[in-house]
Amino acid sequence: MAAQIHVVRHAESVHNVTKNFSQLDPPLTSLGFEQAAKLANSFPHGGRVGIIITSPLRRAIQTALTAFSSILDKRYFDPDSGYGVENGVSLVIDPLLQERSALGCDTGSDQAILQTAFPKLNFEELGNGWPSKKGIFSAGDEVVHERAKKVRSSLNVRSEQLKNSKKRDIVIVTHGVFMKFLTEESDIDLPKAGWKSYTIEKGREPDVKLVAADVI
């Protein structure tokens, strides 16, 4: 079977319930954690996953850590938690996967705050401009399309790096609006903690497309 890209939507967040979109970087609700835990039991491709890449927004990180605790490396968890496995899957924080808008709910926390909240994770990839919603992270359609294109290109590179591995699949944990740009499916509307699988299709360089997989 060809390597697949599994695009995951974060679980229910506080702002999804309160509709307070000005709240900065809201976390998951208790139901959201339950949804992520159910994903852990229903996702059938864990044994094929070689890397998990998540948006730096709190709700996405929490979804990734909860949903994939049985395959992620144990270094990402408290030693007494019982989560994670020896020589498990790596977790990468990628700011390109953040949500589109500049509203508070879609703006990330300062790196120092994230490091305190998730002390086992590496936030070096956020860079000096984080969490600014300017430049490549601004909300205009053209800019977001360009950001999505960068993500697809990076997925192609990572897929090539994993091609000789038994674990070649990639999990992406991101957001409902950004995934429309990432997948180029304007009507995609996954449920909270829902997922959809794709394969990579290479067009004329440097174009890379995600094509819905025949087998989910």
**Can you tell me the distance from the alpha carbon of 14 to that of 28, in angstroms, rounded to the nearest whole number?**
6
Domain boundaries, given as residue ranges, for the chain:
5-212
Write out 67-82 in H/E/C secondary structure.
Answer: HCCCCEEHHHCCCCCC
Fill in the amino acid letter for 136: I
Q: Taking residues 41-62, what's their average pLDDT?
A: 97
User: Half-sphere exposure (CA, 13 Å, Cβ side) for 10?
Assistant: 31
Please write the tens of the pLDDT for every residue from 5-51: 999 999 999 999 999 999 999 999 999 999 999 999 999 999 999 99
Summarised one tens digit per residue, pLDDT across range 173-202 is 999 999 999 999 999 999 999 999 999 998
Alpha carbon distance 176, 162 (integer Å): 27
At the topology level of CATH, where does 5-212 sit? Rossmann fold (3.40.50)
